[in-house]
Each structure stands twice: as C-alpha cells, then as structure tokens.
A and B are shown apart, each in its own frame.
Chain A
Amino acid sequence: MPKRLDIQKILIIGSGPIIIGQACEFDYSGSQACKTLRQEGYQVILINSNPATIMTDPDMADKTYIEPIEPAIIEQIIAKERPDALLPTLGGQTGLNAACALYKQGVLAKYNVELIGASYDAIQKTEDRMIFKEIMESIGVGVLASAHVSSVEAAEEFANHNGFPLIIRPSFTLGGAGGGVACNLEELREITHSGLTQSPSSQVLIEESVIGWKEYELEVMRDIADNVVIVCSMENVDPMGIHTGDSITVAPIQTLSDLEYQQMRNEALKIIRTIGVETGGSNIQFAVDPETGKRVVVEMNPRVSRSSALASKATGFAIAKIAAKLAIGYTLDELPNDITSKTPACFEPAIDYCVTKVPRWDFEKFYDTDVRLTTQMKSVGEVMAIGRTFKESFQKALRSLEQGRFGWGTDGQDRYSYEELTQANAADVFKEEITHYLLVPTAERIFYIRYALLIGMSIDEIYTLTGIDRWFLHNMQQILDIEIKLRSTSLTKKLLQTAKNYGFSDQQIAHIYQMDESAIRAIRQKQEIFAVFKSVDTCAAEFDAVTPYFYSTYHGEENEVVPKKTHKVMILGGGPNRIGQGIEFDYCCVQAAFALREKGSTVIMVNCNPETVSTDYDTSDTLYFEPLTLENVLEICQNEKPDGVILQFGGQTPLKLALSLEKAGINVLGTSPTAIDLAEDREKFSAIVTKLGLLQPQNGLVRSIAEAQVVAKDIGYPVLVRPSYVLGGRAMEIVYDETSLSRYMQEAVKPSPEHPILIDRFLEDSIEVDVDAVSDGSNCVIGGIMEHIERAGIHSGDSACALPPFSLSPKILNEIRRQTKLLAIEIGVVGLLNIQFAIKGEQVYLIEVNPRASRTVPFVSKSIGISLAKIATNVLLGIKLDSLGFTNEVIPPYTAVKEAVFPYIKFSGTDIILGPEMHSTGEVMGIDQDFAMAFAKSQSAAGSRLPLAGNVLLTIADKDKPLVVELATKLRELGFGLVATKGTAEYLQKQGILVDPIAKIGEGSPDIVDEVKNGRIQFIINRSLGKGPLSDGYKIRREALMEGVPIATTIEGAVAAVKGIEQVKLRGMQVKAIQEYHQAKKNDSSV
C-alpha cells in the first residue's frame, strides 16, 4: 500500500530524561522515526524534554519542543501545531503513557488527532494485565495464575491459594519499578505496598512464580496488510526472576529446537494479531519450563523497546525506521532491506554469529542499597558484543563494560585469585560464600560461576543454584579449560590462536603469563594472529551486503572489510551508559560524524552500546561494533589505517587510550595526548595554574592517614577528599573535621603509595560555574557559561544550572572568560574543553579543566542554537574558528535550565540527598524567557512538578533557619499553608509567619511521614535533618520519593522553586519551539 496522503503533520512524543529502564534507545528509535518521516515528506512535531538527545537537534524535526512531557503541555502543542496524527510507539513507556492520557482526556478527539502505530485499545490490552491474560487464555496461549489486587489483604489471600514465591508487578510502571519477588508473607506485604503506591492506577499484579524458567523474547513486526515477521529471537542467560534489562542476553535463541521455537513463533503471531497492534514493532516475552518445555507468555510491549534497539543492532534490521514507515501505511514487502538494498524488509533476519548483551550496573554509587537483581531493573546501561561463538562474544561483552574487566575473569580483577581457588582445601574455604553468590544474583554472579568451576563445583550444581542453562555453563567451562591450559603450558601459536578464538583478550593472556599486554600483541603480530572483520548483513552471507557494519573475530581467515581509500576519520564512542557518562557523549560523537560527512570525510565509528544513535549504521560510513579497548581499537586501526582518530567526544572511555594510541603511531586529532595529560596530571596542571597566576583551591596528595591529617589541617576544614583518577565523583566526600577524615580513610578509601588520595580545600557556599568552549589552538570561543543553582559540594552532573548565569556580575563573568581562554591556549587545546570554576565572593577559583567534550555540550548547543560538537569537529580537521564564523560567545535573550534526574526510586534504602558523588542518570531542560519559568519547567520535566497550592513542609537545620524566612513569607503570599517541625515552626512564628507545627517522627500522630503519606503535603523543603537510614531527614526524603512529592534539599533549590511557582501562578506555562527561540536569538543579535 502506498503511504498515506491524508495526513501531513505527525506529532512524536519522546521519552524524556534517561532513567533506569528508559535509556537512549528511544533517542535511537525517535531519531530514526523523525528522519524517516521527514524523508517521506511529512512535517514532524517533536516534544522531548531531554536536551542530550539527537532527536531534539533543531534540524531533526520541523518543530522541536523541549518542554515537559505532560498532557497539559502536549495539549498546548497540539492546539498550536494541529498535527493530524500522533505516533506514540517510539518514545518508550513515557511516550505511550502520555499518548494514552491525551486519548483518555479527549484531547486527541478534540483536535482530531489520530493515533497511528498502535490504537488506544491495543495499548490497553497489553497494559492491563488482567485483560491481557484473558485474551491470552482465549487464544490458547499459556499464562500464569495471577490476580490484580488493590490492597495488601487481597494479595495475602492470593498467596493463601497459590503459595510462594510470588511475583508482584505494579501496573503502568517502567522497568518494573516497585515490583519484586516475595518469598514470604512479610516480603509480600512490603512489596505490595510499595507497588501500590508507585502504580499510577494503584494496582499491582500478583503472579505465580516461574523463577528459574528459561526466558525468551521475540521482536515482532506487523504491517497494515497483516504481514508479520520475527526480527530477532533472544534468550536470556539469566532465568526468570531477574528483569530482562538486568539479564545477560544472547541472540539468537540457543537452546530451543526448531519445533519449540516455531510453536513460540506461532504464539507470537497470534498474540500480535489478537491484541491488534496494527503496525510496527512489539516485543513479546515467554518463559519456558526447562524440564517439561511448558511455555507461558510473560508480557508484551506494543511499542519499540530497549530490546528492539538490541534486536536492531544484533541483526541489522532497522526496526524503528521500518516501524515509522509502517505507521504511515507502507507494507513490509514495499520496503527494501537497507543492508542488501535488493531484497525486501518482509523477511526474518538470519544471523551467523552470536550476540551477547551484558547490563552495566553502578551499585557502588548507592551505598546501603539492595544489590540483589530482581524483577525490578537496576542496570543503568548495557553493552553488546558480536562474535562467531558465544564464548567469543561473551568475553568481548564483558570487556566492553568499562569496569576494568578484560573478559570472563583472569584479568587481575578477580575477587579470588586462581591460586587461592585451586589450592587443596579451596572448596572448604570458599564453597559456602560462592554458593551464596550463585544463589543470590548480583552484578558479580557471572564471575562467581568461574570461581565455582575452579573450586570443582559441577555444572549441575551451578545450574541448580543459578538456573542458568547448562549449555551456557558448559561454554563457560570450555573457556575455563583454555585458561587452565594457558596456565599450565607454554604459549604455542596454536594455543594462542585457540585462546583468541575463545575470546581471550591480550590483557587476560598477559595476566596469566605475567607479561605486558603489548608483549602479547607483539607475539601475535610475529605469529600473524590477527582479528578479521565480518559483516552484520541480516542474511548470513546469502546476499551481498551494501552496508558496512562489522565486528571482529579470530575465527577464520577471511577479512571482509575493504578499507576505503578516502580521507578517513575514526570516532571512538563512549561505551555503555553509566552514571557519569551518558547519552551526552553519544550525542557529541554523532554530531562529529554528521560534521565529518558534511566535509566529505569517511567516518568510521567504533562503539559497543546498542542503545545509541552512534551505532546506527546510518550514522557513519563504516561501523565497528567493538569493545573500546586498546587491543580492539588497534586491530581496527591496523585494518583501516585511518587518517585520524577523534577521542574527545566519547568521554573518559576513549580519552584513557590517548597516550597508548599515540605511542602506537595513531594520529589523534585535536588536543594532543600530551596536552590531555597536562590537564589530567595534577602536578603538571598546578604548574600551569601557577604560571598563569590563577587561583586553585589549596590541595594536596596524600599516601597515608598521617600525611592526610597534616595536609588537611594545613589546608583547613572542610576539605574535599577523593581517590585520585576517579570519574563521576566516585567515593568523593566533604569532611568537616579530623574524625570524619580518619573515618573516611579507614572505611571508604584507604590511601596507599599506589593509590594516593586527593585533598582539596572545600569552598563552602561558593557558586559553581561550568564553561564549555571551543579552541582552535590560537583562538578560543566560549560556548556557554552555566551557573549552578546548588552551591559547591554537589557534583556538577547532579546540579541544576542555568544558561546564561542569573546572579553573577559582569566582572566575574569576564574574569571567567579571560581565564578560560588563557587556559585553552596554554594547555594547547584543539577542540572542546570544559572548565569548572567556583566563585567565592569576588574570587574565581579554578576547579578543573577537561580537554574534551563535557556532559553539558548538548545542553549548551540546544540553548544557543549552535552545535558545539560540530564546530569542534571542524576545528579538529584544521579549520580555524574564524573561517567557521564562530567568533563570539552567544548569550541568548532567554534562559535555559538543566536539571538532573535521579534513579533513587529503583534503589531502596538510598538517601536522596545530593553530594559530591554523582547519582543522576540523565537530565532535562526547561527553557523560557526568564530564569524562574525555565526552572519551573525543568522541575516538571524532571518529574517533580512544582505545586501551585497546598501545604509546604519545612524542616530546616538551625544554621539554615534564617535563610528560609524570606522564602516562607513568599510562600504564604503565594497562598500556601506552611507546616514545620517544632523548632522550625517556632523560629518562623517568631518572625511573624503563620506556620502549623507538626509532630516529628514518633512524637505523635499524625507525624511528618504520616502527613506526607496522607497527601497533605505538596512540597517539602528539607535541609538535612541528619543522614543515615535512621535519621528523620532520611525517612522524610524517602517517603517524599515514594509518594512523588517534590522536595528541595538545598536552600538555593528551594529559592528557585518558589520563584518558579510565582511565575507559573502569574502567567502559566507556555510552549515555544526551540527553532523559534533560536530565531529570536538571531533577531536579537542582529539588532
């Protein structure tokens, strides 16, 4: 069928900020959709609050609204733009929920907007688990015994009938938020309660448990003519009981016979047809009893999902692009398979390799949290690796994680050494602990399997404890057998080749032979053992592939890459999403690719994150889906011989390879590795600072506790302490006295000669400033100066900030500009740089310089309407800023506010208070004519919409009490009721402010927590009533989080919030497309 001509304008809802369960895969799918629909001649209207996305680039859509994804806001956009259709299936659960809300509120009908892709009816059938279950039963598809309950009592009754364990899932939540496995009555009560509060419909589904069953997923596509294909089949290595997002997954399915697979396929077809997903992709999950083959359907997502991104990258089948085309009326047989260009998309990809996905967790950032893997997703990112065998791809995936691992153990990072585990009494010593870690899944379990095998536990024993299919365990046994062989014999050519076939990295082999990685590399080169590159071609080589999408393997001798003879630039990506390094870096890499292609260079992209736009085969000219390790990068370089490599856009991941790559003779474009080292090495950097006459907080490097005490005393408390060379503020803490300093060094991080600790003077109450700039070596232009809203002491990634600054004097701003330029030239930065300053009074202190793209580059670019990464890419090619016409800092006549988004709801037990250790997973942007409204928008976008009426709870530490008087007065003026604990209440009452006193926790009923629970409190200003899980402050914050009450934990945040509330009350939130802002800026600057 030809495409629809009765619609012209299509609204796409993005997925908002990166959170656990909803990462940049929706930027990938949304960007593909925008691009595709515009190519087809439709006008695209986009709403997404996440500035770090490629999809919100001004030229991706006709109108881009970086506004909160809320029904009322979207309604304004609809009223203004009058789209004909809304495509809800590409923006994750957020987009789907928003679309459903608009439908239910009658907005879509009012403005005559058609839902395309999936109907409201179909969405409801999959979202309401009871309806879904009934439908499944009616078509003869197996389901589990389950019931929807709205109370803890009803849950208990279900348990009486069905026994334990039971799985609890709240309706309408993401990544299984609030769900869990209950093995007894107590757990059942706790999880049910939590789930009921988190579910927007106050309902949870209780289900018979299939923990330990095998878990499978099918990615299904259907078109309007009812053609259905399975794009990819996936098998989870981790069995049921662990969220798919937290499971190691392989594609295709490995342990089902054809008969079983086809029966599952038949059910999938039946399901998508019966549910009535008219067009596009769906994801269907099944559980299979390993002993009997009994199969049940677990769930279905009637939209593009995280698994779709994985399936796309695993097969080369462009799910999102095709889904967008199907939504506008095309059928699968009318669309070409991009990879072959000759065959149609109406087929099922045949793959001739094995794909392994491994989730990336960041538990170490959340002390006190439950690190067990359950049905609630906790991973913050994932990596994918491709190999010719499971063993190869499995080991590649583990070394893609950027956690210092170089494969499946034996890389110097193991918890127990090989010698320990193979000593005579190893089983007696370790078995109990290992058994525990096999039984209770955590991020480390996969490595415990190796320990278990080493102490002699059998595959059957491990299977019983983990539920991981014996086939996978046996493959791991085979890897271990080779490790043992490596340990027991000399490294013959044959053995080395076998080890490489089994996915061992040079690092692992080097570790075994106690050699350097480079020595193993030298041996390989001498013996001519090199990686070859094979294509991802959707057809197992049956047809010629035109799209160059490759992976490395040590299997076989045929190398399929024919390096191009053009000017080639290789971009190293950022690897998996994790806290501290997210989608922002992928945005920069993609911008660089676009800029290079515009200049006619051939772009070679290297990355291992399947969720990204950078790993879309459309983004670059040649894509290598590879770990970002030195070994893998060098193998690609050897093959491609690129003219230059760009490291500065992928965050810390590629930067750490800089010196080694330079040493290997690779041409690193832009800031030289030596210059990078200059900025990263403390001592060299201090010398520059002194030379330039700039100010740095006093600091020292210590290697023992005694030394630390002396240095800290000399600097003066409070001090900021952290291990040297850390990212995202790992283990960073502010300590106020010697006792805390000693405690930190004893409990958190022990200093040692090899691992010194940095001590900085902590500039209390200073204002932090972030600057992004581009330098061409002789000229440096500021991209944006951002003023943090929270005071120093909070990690810059976790702070809200505003562009342009809202309180700094011109004098200070000019000083910041002067210092930025001075540093850029002195260090020799060519490309992007980011500098953090702290302003204390009139003094400007230099905190750090990062000679690379920063987390704020996309935010700044969207704010000023200029892509800094593109400018920087041109600079890397040797073009001067003058010739690029980027000569002046752009100061927009409006304000953009960036706000961080946190994953606390997924980490039970974690305090939400902000500190020097970064916790946020993503960010949103609010943009408006003034700071207050932009801030209010940023809060809404971050999911904590500021209230316009009701009661505000104030719990303020003594030292901060004077600071809230004005705030409290203002809140009263705005019509809020005030509630405060005794001390705060008395203090404010003395100032003549009307405040209701409230009981502290345990001092009466209802106490603070009760009131929060009862919905009497609409906003909380909580200024630290102590830390630790027993403190009142902690309990209040946790309760606020669970109940979704907005909370300000800093005075500055509270001040901004109150200003925002005032503005919203005054003039309401209005929407404006980013393109209109940028136009206004142009008009403004031309005046």
Chain B
Amino acid sequence: MKFRIEPKIQVSGKGGFIIKALLVLEDGFHLSGESFTGSGEATGEIVFNTSMTGYQEIITDPSYCGQILAMTYPLIGNYGVTDLDNESNSPQIEALLVHEYHDYYSNWRAQSSLKQFLMQYQILGVHGIDTRALTRHIRSAGAMMSILSTNTDSLDQLLFKVQSLPKFAGRDLVKDVSCKQAYSYGTNERYHVVAIDFGIKKSILDMLTAVGCRVTVVPASTKALEIMQYQPDGIFLSNGPGDPGAVPYAVTEVTKLVGKIPIFGICFGHQIIGQALGLKTYKLKFGHRGGNHPVKDLSTDHVEVSVQNHGFCLELPSPSRLRTNHLLAGLEITHINLNDNTVEGLLHSQLKCFSVQHHPEASPGPHDARYLFQRFAELMDKEKE
C-alpha cells in the first residue's frame, strides 16, 4: 500500500478567503474552480467516475494513482468519511474535482469530513468545476494529461507544464503503490492465496477472506519461484494503476505460473493474465469508471451491473492467432461489456486460470459479481482434489 511523502498542498492559514484553482488539459481545454483544501498543484491523467456514491472508496483506490479524478455526481461530501470505507491507507488520487463540495455531512457512520480527510493527506480538492462540461470534453477528446493548480496567474505556463509531462501510457505506476514487503492478511486455514499486489484494494482482501482464504500479499516484483515457495492453493493478481503494458517483469513471472496453480485476476491482474496468455492490451479512449456498466456472463447469459475502473483493455485475439497460439487455444471469453463489447472476462480451464476486467469486490458499487470469489474458491477445491 502506498504512503505519500511529498506534501502536495499548503493549507492556507485563515479560513474565509477563496483560493481559485485552474484545471488545464493537455489540449488547452481549461476550467476554473475553487480549492477547498488549500493551495497547491497536482498533475495526472484526467479521468471521471460516474458513481453516485462511494467517493471515499474511489479516492483511496490505488488504481487511481497518477490520476486527477472528477466525480460526475455533483454533490460530494454529503455523508462524510469513515476509516471503515478506506480501500488503502490514504487517498491515492493526485487531486479531486467536484461540482459542489459539502463540508456539512450527515451520516451515523461518518467520522470526519472529506475535506479534513483530503487535507490530512494534502490532496488538492477543488469544487465549483463544471464537471459535466469536463466529462463531455473528455468523452469527445479522449483521456489526456492535466494539471490542476491554485497558481492561476498564467494559463500559458500551466499549459506548457502539462504538455511537458510524460504521457500516461507506458509509465509503470505499480511500483509506486505495490507493497514493499510481503505481509499476511487474515487467519483462515481453508485456502492459502498469494496475492500479487499491483495496488490491491482492501475490499478484495476482505472478499478473499470471506470465502476462506488466508492471503499472503507480495510485492509486484516478486519472482514466480518465490511465490511458489509459499506453497499457495491459488494465486491472485490484483487491480492496479496505469498501463498494464508497462510491467513486463510481472507478465514474465505470471507466464511461469500459468497452468501450475489456480489463478484469479481482477482488472490490472486480468490484463496481466491476458498478456501472459499472449493477448495484447490497448488504451481505451477515455476508460470505464463507474458502477453501472452491464457485463454479460456468457456462460449463463446473465447480466451483472458491474463496477469499472480501467483505462486499458485486452484486445480480442484474431481467429488465426487463436488457432496458432497454443496458449490461446483453450481460451474462452467469459464476460463481455454490453456497452461497447469489450472483453470483461477470460477463462482457460486447462490452465486453471480466470480473470475479469471489472471489479467483483465492488466497493463502491453493486455487489452483483461477488460470486466470482466463490468461483475462485471452487477452482482451488478442484485442484486440491
């Protein structure tokens, strides 16, 4: 899990006066707002999430590392924050954009306000942004880098800065969020699972625990050999931030594990499995982030309302590659996204691995796909027999 070191914002001494903020996108599109957490500057890929609840889980999801997040739901902060809803130790986003921030929260579970939470971790939070105009722009212009600054004097300067930033694709962000040392989660005895941490969410660990797993979480750079030395019943490949094509070291190790032991991957982990089996990844125009995409389980024809958070996607193999590539031969596409027909799930029965692009652990979002953790347990059962 990730700990922030460098201070990102400076808290203004006195309340009351307004701190203007300017968001500038790589293509020159810009919007202004006001900071509610102090002054500062942040850069990152600009993304939007359409979930109407769950801002805290989203903010603390390590998959958002390197991104400036805009919530499309306009009223944010309403129910405060609570330690119980954290997906990692701290906020993981570079900055938060909302339409109207509500410092006054009302919910029995709340421990403090979102503002206090962001300020504690020195994350820039800006409201008064026309998040709908922003979303419409991203939808048509595509994902890109952005800068958010309370130093609003020079638009040109900010534009120059944002255009000089390294591109999002191709960057390895996993090393920033993966744990530095292996640790153990839970005390179950039924299954022992090694989870490769590309930026794992706490709720995934909880879901694995709920189906009877004791989890050993290992850094993303852990070698296959080392992983097998834990003698796990199964391997879990976690979610994570950024470009799945930027971590060839992980793909290499997973390739060694495929076929030896049950493997389950979610999101980034799904993309790693896909690559290990020989598929390619590509960047979506503006990604999928929200809690309402319909995903069809092709084995049952059942549609689940899924939780999405990814900017990259696995490419469907061409028929000829399917014939010639021995790994791909037994590969099944198990789930598809009904909005755009992208791949949402893979299964290779022979190689005992399966994965999904969406987030069955939800948190936030609908719990429709949680059965997949049970499926993983069943796969491990089968292997034990």
The stretch among A339-347, A793-801, A891-899 that forms the contact with chain B is: A339-347
A406 — which chain B residues lie within 8 A by C-beta?
none
The answer on a CB contact under 8 Å between B305 and A348 is yes
**In the assembled complex, how far is the CB of residue B366 from the closest CB belonging to chain A, in whole angstroms?**
6
B108 — which chain A residues lie within 8 A by C-beta?
290-293
Tell me, yes or no, whether B52 is within 8 Å of chain A by CB: yes
Contact of B99 among A256, A350, A388, A543 (CB under 8 A): A388
Closest to B73 in A: A352
Closest to B102 in A: A471
The stretch among B167-175, B248-256, B321-329, B357-365 that forms the contact with chain A is: B357-365
Could you tell me the distance between the alpha carbons of A331 and B300 in the complex, rounded to whole angstroms? 14
Contact of B130 among A255, A390, A557 (CB under 8 A): A557
Could you tell me the distance between the alpha carbons of A543 and B104 in the complex, rounded to whole angstroms? 32
The stretch among B20-28, B156-164, B289-297 that forms the contact with chain A is: B289-297
Closest to A269 in B: B368
**In the assembled complex, how far is the CB of residue A294 from the closest CB belonging to chain B, in whole angstroms?**
10
The answer on a CB contact under 8 Å between B132 and A262 is no
B302 — which chain A residues lie within 8 A by C-beta?
225-227
B53 — which chain A residues lie within 8 A by C-beta?
253, 256-258, 261
**In the assembled complex, how far is the CB of residue A112 from the closest CB belonging to chain B, in whole angstroms?**
31
A555 — which chain B residues lie within 8 A by C-beta?
74, 99, 130
Could you tell me the distance between the alpha carbons of A330 and B74 in the complex, rounded to whole angstroms? 34
Tell me, yes or no, whether A332 is within 8 Å of chain B by CB: yes
Tell me, yes or no, whether B181 is within 8 Å of chain A by CB: no
Could you tell me the distance between the alpha carbons of A539 and B132 in the complex, rounded to whole angstroms? 11
Closest to B80 in A: A257
Known: A252-B52, A352-B73. A470 touches B365 (CB 8 A): no
Tell me, yes or no, whether B72 is within 8 Å of chain A by CB: yes
Could you tell me the distance between the alpha carbons of A227 and B53 in the complex, rounded to whole angstroms? 22
The answer on a CB contact under 8 Å between A389 and B338 is no
Known: A262-B364, A262-B366, A541-B135. A350 touches B292 (CB 8 A): yes
Contact of A348 among B110, B132, B291 (CB under 8 A): B291
Contact with B along A544-557 (1 / 0, CB 8 A): 10000000000111
Tell me, yes or no, whether B185 is within 8 Å of chain A by CB: no
A258 — which chain B residues lie within 8 A by C-beta?
51, 53-54, 56-57, 85, 363-365
Could you tell me the distance between the alpha carbons of A543 and B110 in the complex, rounded to whole angstroms? 33
Could you tell me the distance between the alpha carbons of A233 and B339 in the complex, rounded to whole angstroms? 22
A342 — which chain B residues lie within 8 A by C-beta?
339
B75 — which chain A residues lie within 8 A by C-beta?
254, 354, 389-390
Known: A257-B79, A389-B75, A542-B50. A471 touches B106 (CB 8 A): yes
Contact of B338 among A291, A343, A542, A556 (CB under 8 A): A343
The answer on a CB contact under 8 Å between A257 and B109 is yes
A343 — which chain B residues lie within 8 A by C-beta?
294, 338-339
The answer on a CB contact under 8 Å between B303 and A333 is yes
The answer on a CB contact under 8 Å between A541 and B292 is no
The answer on a CB contact under 8 Å between A256 and B73 is no
Closest to A478 in B: B104
Interface residues contributed by chain A, number (CB under 8 Å): 57
Known: A256-B53, A540-B50. A388 touches B74 (CB 8 A): yes
Could you tell me the distance between the alpha carbons of A225 and B304 in the complex, rounded to whole angstroms? 12
The answer on a CB contact under 8 Å between A257 and B82 is yes
B296 — which chain A residues lie within 8 A by C-beta?
333
Could you tell me the distance between the alpha carbons of A512 and B2 in the complex, rounded to whole angstroms? 53
Tell me, yes or no, whether A929 is within 8 Å of chain B by CB: no
B102 — which chain A residues lie within 8 A by C-beta?
471, 474
Contact with A along B296-318 (1 / 0, CB 8 A): 10000111010000000000000
Contact of B133 among A260, A262, A346, A558 (CB under 8 A): A558
Contact of A543 among B72, B139, B363 (CB under 8 A): B139
Closest to B296 in A: A333
The answer on a CB contact under 8 Å between B74 and A352 is yes
Could you tell me the distance between the alpha carbons of A539 and B54 in the complex, rounded to whole angstroms? 17
Could you tell me the distance between the alpha carbons of A784 and B48 in the complex, rounded to whole angstroms? 58
Could you tell me the distance between the alpha carbons of A470 and B339 in the complex, rounded to whole angstroms? 38
Closest to B364 in A: A258
Closest to B203 in A: A259
Tell me, yes or no, whether B367 is within 8 Å of chain A by CB: yes
A611 — which chain B residues lie within 8 A by C-beta?
none
Could you tell me the distance between the alpha carbons of A347 and B53 in the complex, rounded to whole angstroms? 16
Closest to A257 in B: B79
Contacts of B62-110 to chain A: CB distance below 8 A:
72-75, 78-79, 82, 84-85, 99-100, 102, 104-110
**In the assembled complex, how far is the CB of residue A336 from the closest CB belonging to chain B, in whole angstroms?**
11
Could you tell me the distance between the alpha carbons of A116 and B74 in the complex, rounded to whole angstroms? 40
Tell me, yes or no, whether B43 is within 8 Å of chain A by CB: no
The answer on a CB contact under 8 Å between A350 and B290 is yes
Tell me, yes or no, whether B149 is within 8 Å of chain A by CB: no
The answer on a CB contact under 8 Å between A265 and B366 is yes
Could you tell me the distance between the alpha carbons of A333 and B303 in the complex, rounded to whole angstroms? 7
Tell me, yes or no, whether A534 is within 8 Å of chain B by CB: yes
A390 — which chain B residues lie within 8 A by C-beta?
75
Could you tell me the distance between the alpha carbons of A388 and B98 in the complex, rounded to whole angstroms? 12
The answer on a CB contact under 8 Å between B74 and A262 is no
**In the assembled complex, how far is the CB of residue B301 from the closest CB belonging to chain A, in whole angstroms?**
6
The answer on a CB contact under 8 Å between B72 and A350 is yes
**In the assembled complex, how far is the CB of residue A279 from the closest CB belonging to chain B, in whole angstroms?**
14
Contact with A along B25-69 (1 / 0, CB 8 A): 000000000000000000000001011111011000000000000
Tell me, yes or no, whether B131 is within 8 Å of chain A by CB: yes
Tell which of A253, A262, A333, A351 has the most Cβ of chain B within 10 Å: A262
A347 — which chain B residues lie within 8 A by C-beta?
292-294, 305, 338-339
Q: Identify the 9 closest CB pairs spanning chains A and B, nearest first.
A: A556-B130, A258-B54, A258-B364, A471-B106, A540-B72, A558-B133, A350-B50, A258-B53, A541-B135
Partner-B contacts on A (CB < 8 A): 225-227, 229-230, 233, 252-262, 265-266, 290-293, 331-333, 342-344, 346-354, 388-390, 469-471, 474, 534, 539-544, 555-558, 560
With A258-B56, A344-B339 known, 12 other A-B pairs at CB within 8 A are: A257-B109, A258-B53, A261-B53, A293-B109, A346-B305, A350-B292, A352-B73, A352-B135, A354-B75, A557-B133, A558-B133, A558-B136
26 contacts between A and B (CB under 8 A): A229-B305, A252-B73, A254-B75, A254-B78, A254-B79, A255-B107, A256-B53, A257-B107, A258-B56, A258-B363, A260-B109, A265-B367, A290-B108, A344-B339, A346-B338, A347-B292, A348-B291, A350-B73, A352-B132, A353-B74, A471-B104, A540-B72, A540-B73, A543-B139, A557-B133, A558-B136
